[in-house]
Structure 1
Amino acid sequence: MKKIGQFTLTAGLAAVLVSSSLPVMAEAGSSADRISHKIDTMTLEQKIGQMIMPDFRQWNGSNHTSLAPEVANIIDRYDLGGVILFAENVSETEQTTKLVHDLQEVVKQDASNDIPLFVTIDQEGGIVTRLGTGTNLPGNMALGATRSSTYANDAGHIIGSELRALGINVNFGPVLDVNSNPGNPVIGVRSFSSDPELVGTLGSALMKGIQSEGVAATAKHFPGHGDTATDSHYGLPVVDRSLQELEQVELVPFKRAIAEDIDMIMTGHIGMPQIEPEVVTSTNGTFPLPATLSDDVITGVLREKLGYDGIVITDALNMQAIADNFTESEAVLKTFDAGVDIALMPTILRSEQDVTKLDQIFKDVIAAVKDGRLSEERIDQSVERILTLKAERGIWNGTTDTTSLAEKIAQSNQIVGSPEHKAKERAMTEAAVTLVKNDQRTLPFKPKKNANVLVIAPAADQTDSMKKTIASLPKNRNWHVTTANYSATTLPLDQNPTLRAQLDAADYIIVGSNVNTSAKLLPTAPEQAIPASIFRYAKQTDTPSVLLSLRNPYDVAVQPDAPAHVLVYGFKGDPNGPDSEAGNLKSAGPNLPAGIRAIFGTFKPQGTLPVDVPVFQNGVFTDQLHLEFGDGFKNWKK
């Protein structure tokens, strides 16, 4: 590691950061020659730096939205190859553009290192959307409901162009997990479908859209996180399948992505006991070695069986599936030995006091190389892949970007959240809305003048979004909208006179349901019990009502008394306006407004189910289907 002076953002240096940079001469020869020459001239520490990617989402107790001098020092000292940004880093378009600009300026001011950073982000669209401003998009399962490769490709173009305008050059998406387990607590609507071919088709279209904009795309979470019942943020999921079984489902989308030149693949922290026989014993017990650390999975299956020679990056190594069972250095060394190229978030850095942990990781990797446990040749393979992609994507091309910060901000303001992007977002979101039940043609609602509408959902931002959307409808005839929210503390209806009075006053009832785990489908869970009691009461009083499913669509299986079921595959509300369209710069979920517009007949739902919905009985999903992949009714009252 370099021993350097403090990197201080003085007035003079700040002026340098916002000015154009002088161009430098490109190295002679081909890209391959330039890469080979660069590797030959790099120190071991510099090579390792290219393989480490931390986050700085917070610094000294505050969201890290402008480059802290201490963070600049860390990037400079360790010659880091990349950083990952989170929502805490990217609140506004101009702010994000400046932060990314300043991050790259650290490298430009470093006389010993000319390799720009991978600046990365999880901008999947839908419920995993990091940018504070811009185009949210409806998410992958919504795209699955449209069955449209055109919409998926449009989504990729929107994501790629907005990230590129901000200076972000790598996106950790698309998600290629096949959501074959309805009890999956972490993937759900982040997946396109339970059908591997549809996941492959739409994932490919999204990937091509992103990469066509010059941004690297990343397929995740290899070898597949869809058939899991544990969230790897909090524990180690296990997929007990043979390679032949994986090839029929989980690996299908990844094979296609590899054939169509995906730039990166992200691993999943998943035990695969039929692929990797090694077990690990920690204070938490004995369990299969996670795929991220497995040479049988990374080298044996991904590299050799599937023929992938691009960059492999881990999912965050500070997730509990890894962090609870390995030291930080152990995890990094095992990933590198398995054939991984970049260790993502190997330690938590929130202040200068945490830098000792990063320093220890570097020391331990260097020691492993020096004593022969990890070869420098293995390190060089990863650095070659990293430099190759940086060269191919124009990140490291032998010249320095001379675009001024002012020019970058002007471009990002023009592109991020543009009216064209918002219009496409609305079109694909409306195309996704799925009607799977409409008894007695309950929908669309056609309230009379001064009618009372009750909207109820778990979160206030959700009911705010629904209320404001209703107010914006051209058909609105001075309807009175009342909102209510429910949670684990909400009293049952027979003990809740306030809610009962609201139901009695309502002419129409809309209930939003946000379910992402099997536990929330149990009769004792408020997420199931409160809506169920409302629908039973509405049935007794003959009040038109509708279930608006805001997340995983399996909640429709446990609400038989709702006469209508509408699915929108996204739960983000918008307290700032009736929609995420022109005039509202903040990134906001378009799904709820689309669902409301459909309920009141602005358009006819055309989406079809992208997953099977099994019967849920006695706390488990059965083999019997409540609804099938492809269902979607059109019995629409005129």
Structure 2
Amino acid sequence: MGQKLNWTATLGLTTALLAASLPMQPVAAETTASVTERVDTQLEQMTLEQKIGQMIMPDFRLWDGANHTKLAPEVGRIIDRFDLGGVILFAENVSETEQTTKLVHDLREVVEQDPSNDIPLFVTIDQEGGIVTRLGTGTNLPGNMALGATRSSAYAEAAGGIIGSELHALGINVNFGPVLDVNNNPGNPVIGVRSFSSDPNLVGELGSAMTQGIQEQGVAATAKHFPGHGDTAVDSHYGLPVVDKSLAELKQLELIPFKRAIDEGIDMVMTGHIGMPQIEDEVVESKQGTFPLPATLSDDVITGVLREELGYQGLVITDALNMQAIADNFTESEAVIKTFKAGVDIALMPTILRSASDVTKLETIFDDVIKAVESGDLKEADIDRSVERILTLKATRGIWKETNDPVTLEEQLNEAKSVVGSPEHKVLERQMTEAAVTLVRNDRKTLPFKPKKGQTVLVLSPTKDQTDSMVKTIRSLEKNAGNLKLVNVLTENYGASTPHLNQNPALQEKINQADYLIVGSNVNNSAKLGTSSADHYVPAEVFRQANRTGKKSVLLSLRNPYDVAVQPDADAQLLVYGFKGDPNGPDSEAGNTKSAGPNLPAGIRAIFGEFVPQGKLPVDVPKFKDGTFQTDLYREFGDGFRNWNK
């Protein structure tokens, strides 16, 4: 069995590796007189259409039915024609390092070669780490909740530094992270492990550290999703979540991390499409019913709370405006105009552009915004203030330079190849992932597993790429570590159509053959935890059968930690906060087949005693009864055994 980690030595190594591996970029200076002069001069020269272009940020993830991995001429012409201020990239755009570098270089060159308006693009991406990892190649990192389990601001800053340096090396200059939502609702279907914790102070501490790591690399960081998406039970991609809290209540929880980020100089804040009926009393009447006006469109939330109450004067960008929380209730032009009137600076993805025929939708948005300015419904002075913020950030982050000194494609490729997914980054990734693994139950000293040569291990999980990843790690332990002798490994996957165990003789037979059982659970929605759901009954019946037959079993929680309360019959419960499997398997969540996570291998190494888990629960886990979470707790924030003798 591996020795217990020496944390002082580990963090010292982390600092040394970080310093050696991250090419430090100058931190953006405060706005200087020269920047102010440049911004003022540029603003005076810009037409209204050019100003609006700076405030519109579309995606081109697909074009003419295919992933947009190489700049299509039509896309270049759209960027040039509308003088767009930025674009967002998705997994469909960024398959591997050389391709991504070339695409970003070509996108930026569209603007740099335009003498009439050569303000460089914001090239943006959601590279949160963990389950939201867009890059096809690079360092994936364990994710925010895993970092919360480490309780280490040094690891959070290192994670931010890795993200920032890899994006900078690719030419990407804005990251839509860190997530500062406080995940205090176990039924939250969209945030979950994307949050650091259910404790707002821990979220603030680790979010601040990650921000520093990102911005020290010359990449703008973004706090999201203001005013807080953690206490919701609806995913705003598919509906409008509501947080029915007063400003005083928000200040006690949701706003704490955002206030710290603002005080410490976060570059951007991203809004959430969340109804806040105690802050904004305007309601929306639509075919979907009557709803509170979403925060993204709310003057009371954006100007009143964010700008005036919290004092934030930086750049505000919306979450994607084509999400159903907005798109189901407003026309595209209505949404854009309302966001600008609320005090937002950039409208993200206000329409879906997938071919040249979609350009008319963008034309309509521009025409309607211009009409709103001409009619006085939207003040041009407010447009000017937004563009001033955009230009100021581009200047202070080194995106828009006083003298045009473009980096050649060859120079960018050389940097990208040396930085993205570097061995130093992978060492840090493994360190922080192992530090996050959390053991909350170990009855009868179930762990570590110590199978004898020739015994059988059953690996059960929702998807094949997860079982493949676990088996691959087991085989690597047999080959390299010496602690694990050759064993037989059986695998099985379960899903919504998997029958109960008494109707599943194939699975019964595998359980009978096994000496040890590893059961992966990957649940992001409490609705799937009801007794009629296979996500609930398959693991539960397997654990009960293992107990009846005297076989050792462990629950490996692959995502939200709340499923430990749902499976009380597991002798051991280990949490890794990430579900991504083998790089050769499918990854439908990110739309990306090359992005593997480090979490599953870390969990398997812990199960077989390669190291002792040191993580602490970053959330409270309520008890689960009759298909719902209760008010009393099953496990508390901070729980976690840090030796095997429990």
CA RMSD of aligned residues (A): 1.2
State the one-letter code of the partner of 2:471.
K
CA contact (8 A) 1:153 1:207 kept: yes
**Which residue pairs with 2:637 in the alignment?**
629
**Which residue pairs with 1:242 in the alignment?**
246
3-state DSSP class of the match of 2:221? strand
CA contact (8 A) 1:119 1:169 kept: yes
Deviations 1:411-439 (A, max 9, x none): 10100000000000000000000000000
Q: Distance in 2 between matches of 1:122 and 1:234?
A: 19
CA contact (8 A) 2:613 2:643 kept: no
**Which residue pairs with 2:526 in the alignment?**
518
**Which residue pairs with 2:589 in the alignment?**
none
Q: Does residue 615 of the first structure (1) align with residue 619 of the second (2)?
A: no
Q: CA deviation at 1:586?
A: 4.5
Q: Distance in 2 between matches of 1:538 and 1:211?
A: 50
Q: Distance in 1 between matches of 2:195 and 2:374?
A: 43
State the one-letter code of the partner of 1:339.
G
**Which residue pairs with 2:185 in the alignment?**
181
- Aligned counterpart for 2:462 among listed residues 452, 458, 463: 458
**Which residue pairs with 1:350 in the alignment?**
354
**Which residue pairs with 1:384 in the alignment?**
388
State the one-letter code of the partner of 1:58.
L
Q: Does residue 265 of the first structure (1) align with residue 269 of the second (2)?
A: yes
Moved more, 419-428 or 611-620: 611-620
**Which residue pairs with 1:159 in the alignment?**
163
Q: Does residue 399 of the first structure (1) align with residue 403 of the second (2)?
A: yes
**Which residue pairs with 2:140 in the alignment?**
136
Moved more, 477-486 or 162-171: 477-486
Q: CA deviation at 1:403?
A: 2.2
**Which residue pairs with 2:149 in the alignment?**
145
Q: CA deviation at 1:289?
A: 0.4
Q: How does 1:528-543 map to 2 (within 5 A)?
A: 528-543=536-551
State the one-letter code of the partner of 1:241.
K
**Which residue pairs with 2:300 in the alignment?**
296
**Which residue pairs with 2:578 in the alignment?**
570
CA contact (8 A) 1:210 1:216 kept: yes
Q: Distance in 2 between matches of 1:521 and 1:439?
A: 23
Moved more, 174-183 or 29-38: 29-38
The size of the alignment, in residue pairs, is 604
Moved more, 201-210 or 480-489: 480-489
Q: CA deviation at 1:48?
A: 0.1
**Which residue pairs with 1:334 in the alignment?**
338
State the one-letter code of the partner of 1:433.
V
**Which residue pairs with 1:364 in the alignment?**
368
CA contact (8 A) 1:443 1:637 kept: no
CA contact (8 A) 1:441 1:635 kept: no
Q: CA deviation at 1:476?
A: 2.9
TM-score by length of 1: 0.94
Structure 1: which 5+ residue stretches go unaligned? 1-27, 578-584
Deviations 1:603-631 (A, max 9, x none): 00000000000012223221100100000
3-state DSSP class of the match of 1:300? helix
CA contact (8 A) 1:438 1:635 kept: no
CA contact (8 A) 2:612 2:643 kept: no
The sequence identity of aligned pairs, in percent, is: 74
CA contact (8 A) 1:464 1:575 kept: no
Deviations 1:551-575 (A, max 9, x none): 0000000111110000000000014
CA contact (8 A) 2:499 2:534 kept: no
State the one-letter code of the partner of 1:607.
G
Q: Does residue 546 of the first structure (1) align with residue 551 of the second (2)?
A: no
Q: CA deviation at 1:482?
A: 1.4
3-state DSSP class of the match of 1:482? strand
Q: CA deviation at 1:634?
A: 3.1
Q: Distance in 2 between matches of 1:476 and 1:62?
A: 45
Q: Distance in 2 between matches of 1:218 and 1:196?
A: 17
Q: Distance in 1 between matches of 2:266 and 2:324?
A: 28
Q: CA deviation at 1:637?
A: 5.3
Q: Distance in 2 between matches of 1:476 and 1:100?
A: 45
- Aligned counterpart for 1:501 among listed residues 488, 504, 509: 509
Q: Distance in 2 between matches of 1:500 and 1:279?
A: 54
- Aligned counterpart for 1:200 among listed residues 188, 200, 204: 204
Structure 2: which 5+ residue stretches go unaligned? 1-31, 586-592
**Which residue pairs with 2:485 in the alignment?**
477
State the one-letter code of the partner of 1:524.
S
- Aligned counterpart for 1:253 among listed residues 252, 257, 271: 257
Q: CA deviation at 1:399?
A: 2.1
Q: Distance in 2 between matches of 1:343 and 1:241?
A: 26
Q: Distance in 1 between matches of 2:448 and 2:383?
A: 61
**Which residue pairs with 1:7 in the alignment?**
none
CA contact (8 A) 2:270 2:319 kept: yes
CA contact (8 A) 2:484 2:608 kept: no
Moved more, 39-48 or 468-477: 468-477
Q: How does 1:296-335 map to 2 (within 5 A)?
A: 296-335=300-339
CA contact (8 A) 1:48 1:362 kept: yes
CA contact (8 A) 2:615 2:642 kept: no
Q: Distance in 1 between matches of 2:314 and 2:84?
A: 19
CA contact (8 A) 1:135 1:588 kept: no
CA contact (8 A) 2:450 2:484 kept: no
- Aligned counterpart for 1:232 among listed residues 233, 236, 240: 236
Moved over 3 A (4+): none
